[in-house]
Amino acid sequence: MFRALLIIILGTLIIPVAMAENSLSGPVIASVVKVYDGDTITVDAHPWPQVTMRVNVRINGIDTPELRGKCQAEKEQAQQARDRTQALAGEQVTLS
């Protein structure tokens, strides 16, 4: 009985901590490293002073043609989408 109670108590303490490791409170300032395509960028996020995390970011609500598309027209549209995302993103973005 004591063992089961101990497992339940430890579980309720450990699970929220483990889940918190995967989330950050925003907004977080990030430097754009690379624009992969029209809906994916790589950034160096700065969540805390002197801490940098390189992450790939999918832009929520945006779906653009893929660079490795099935036909030449799709590939050209994907390049245009990438160029437009590069122009809009600039050098710094805010993640939230």
Q: In the structure, what pLDDT confidence band is assigned to residue 4 with cuts at 50, 70 and 90?
A: low
Q: Which of 21-30, 38-47, 81-90 has the lowest mean pLDDT?
A: 21-30
Q: Kindly report the three-state secondary structure assignment for every residue of 10-78.
A: HHHHHHHHHHHCCCCCCCEEEEEEEEEECCEEEEEEEEECCEEEEEEEECCCCCCCCCCCCCHHHHHHH
Is 59 in contact with 40 (CB distance < 8 Å)? yes
* pLDDT at res. 3: 67
Distance CA 76, CA 65 (A): 9
Distance CA 69, CA 77 (A): 9
Give 34-65 pLDDT, tens digit per residue: 999 999 999 999 999 899 999 999 999 999 99
* pLDDT at res. 69: 87
Average pLDDT, the chain: 85
The mean pLDDT value for 18-40 works out to 80
Whole-prediction pTM value? 0.68
Query: Domain locations in the chain?
Result: 25-95
